[in-house]
Amino acid sequence: MGGISIWQLLIIAVIVILLFGTKKLRNIGGDLGSAVKGFKKAMSDEEAQQEKKDADFEPKNLEQQKTEATAETKKDKEQA
C-alpha cells in the first residue's frame, strides 16, 4: 500500500553506489560521523559550563552566612 519494499531499497542503494562510488560514500560517512561527535562534545561542554555557573549559587548553612555578613560589615566600616 504505497510502502517501499526491500527490493526497491536495494535498487536505490545500488544506484547511489554507482553514482558516488564506495570511497566517496565512505568519506561522507566519516565526515558525518565526526560532525555528530563534535556536536555531542560541544553540547556536553556547554552543559558542564552551565553546571559551573549554577554551582556558585549553592545554599549555605547559617554559620557561613553569618561569617560572610560580619566580614561584609567590617569591610563597609573600614571603607567609611
CA distance readout (Å), 22 to 10, 32, 78: 15, 15, 76
Give the pLDDT confidence score for residue 6 in this predicted structure.
92
Give the pLDDT confidence score for residue 33 in this predicted structure.
94
pLDDT in tens, 1-59: 578 899 999 999 999 999 989 889 899 999 999 999 999 998 888 877 776 665 555 55
pLDDT in tens, 63-77: 777 787 787 777 777
Give the pLDDT confidence score for residue 71 in this predicted structure.
79
Give the end-to-end CA distance of the chain in Å, rounded to a whole number: 85
